[in-house]
């Protein structure tokens, strides 16, 4: 029917080539022809979306890896041998009777402590140079020495809790050692033959050992293991390595070695939870300090040493 002036109804609209304009946009479904082209790779990505990794935290995202750990181990062993040889050579060149030193337990103990201190300082220097020259990063923060995030806990309360944790950890180890005493004298007791060597050993145990061991184990080793296998395995592996490091001093006291493995796991757990080496360092220093105080009390001020002839 054609439209004329006497027709009151408007003419029917002409059909449009775009039929989608007559479909309510609120209810119509997207036609298959209007879907953007997808290749097979995109469809797989949509079906299996990759979620961000949430278990890897910033404190274990370190720039070094397993190759660096192996090289560090080789360097530590080679460094100990080299420092020992150079020390013996230096003593021989200075006219010291090396054979007399070898027959003196006192001199051997002093020399072993001296060599260990040199090796520890050398390893710290190597790590500092690696952070600065290779990774171009600040040493202490990169290797895990960050300011603890205490949240709503006052910093003083937080640090006091860490010190108290070291105290109770020392009490647990002392109780376990008394319940399962070694069946023979331990090699570490040879260090307690005179007051001077014992005092030097105690100073190193409190002032240097926690710094070096926490930097190496909880700062350098733990992040690589935790990043590769998870924090749980990182705690177990790092704690076990820490205990085995002291096995030569406690050889024959298997319960004492197991207790030190437990100590290493507790320290690593504190590092993992707090995300800073500072926490494990404070606990470690507190633990060693309590052990030293206990030795002072047991020996009546180093007057009755257990290893004295």
Tens-place pLDDT, residues 263-309: 999 999 999 999 999 999 999 999 999 999 999 999 988 888 876 66
C-alpha to C-alpha distance for 297 and 158, rounded to whole angstroms: 28
What would the pLDDT profile of 233-262 be if each residue is shown by its tens digit?
Answer: 999 999 999 999 999 999 989 999 999 999
pLDDT at 251: 92
Q: Are 269 and 152 in contact, with CB atoms under 8 Å apart?
A: no
The candidate with the shortest Cα–Cα distance to 113, out of 208, 8, 216, is 208
| Cα separations in angstroms, 218 against 134, 231, 237, 275, 285 | 21, 12, 11, 10, 14
Q: Are 139 and 125 in contact, with CB atoms under 8 Å apart?
A: no
C-alpha to C-alpha distance for 186 and 208, rounded to whole angstroms: 23
What would the pLDDT profile of 183-206 be if each residue is shown by its tens digit?
Answer: 888 999 888 888 999 999 999 999
pLDDT at 96: 83
Helix, strand, or coil (residue 145): coil
C-alpha to C-alpha distance for 69 and 83, rounded to whole angstroms: 21
Is pLDDT of 25 > 90?
no
Cβ neighbourhood burial of 2 (10 Å; 0-12, 13-18, 19+): exposed
């Amino acid at each position: 029917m054609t439209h004329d002036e006497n027709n009151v109804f408007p003419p029917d609209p002409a059909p449009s080539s775009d039929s989608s304009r007559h479909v309510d946009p609120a209810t119509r479904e997207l036609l298959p022809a209007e879907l953007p082209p997808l290749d097979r790779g995109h469809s797989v990505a949509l079906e299996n979306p990759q979620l961000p990794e949430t278990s890897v935290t910033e404190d274990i995202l370190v720039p070094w890896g397993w190759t660096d750990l192996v090289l560090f181990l080789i360097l530590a062993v080679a460094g100990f041998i080299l420092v020992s040889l150079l020390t013996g050579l230096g003593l021989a060149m200075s006219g010291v009777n090396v054979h007399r030193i070898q027959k003196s337990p006192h001199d051997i103990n002093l020399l072993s402590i001296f060599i260990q201190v040199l090796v520890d300082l050398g390893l710290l220097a190597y790590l500092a140079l690696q952070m600065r020259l290779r990774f171009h990063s600040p040493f202490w923060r990169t290797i895990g020495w960050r300011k603890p995030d205490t949240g709503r806990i006052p910093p003083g309360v937080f640090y006091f809790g860490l010190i108290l944790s070291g105290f109770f950890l020392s009490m647990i180890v002392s109780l376990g050692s008394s319940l399962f005493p070694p069946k023979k004298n331990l090699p570490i007791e040879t260090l307690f033959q005179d007051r001077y060597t014992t005092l030097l050993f105690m100073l190193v145990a409190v002032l240097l050992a926690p710094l070096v061991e926490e930097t190496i184990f909880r700062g350098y080793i733990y992040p690589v293991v935790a990043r590769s296998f998870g924090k749980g395995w990182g705690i177990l592996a790092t704690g076990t390595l820490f205990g085995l490091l002291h096995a030569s001093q406690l050889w024959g006291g298997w319960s004492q070695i197991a207790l030190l493995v437990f100590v290493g796991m507790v320290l690593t757990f504190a590092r993992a939870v707090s995300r800073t080496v500072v926490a494990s360092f404070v606990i470690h220093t507190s633990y060693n300090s309590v052990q030293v105080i206990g030795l002072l009390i047991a020996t009546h001020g180093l007057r009755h040493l257990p290893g004295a002839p």
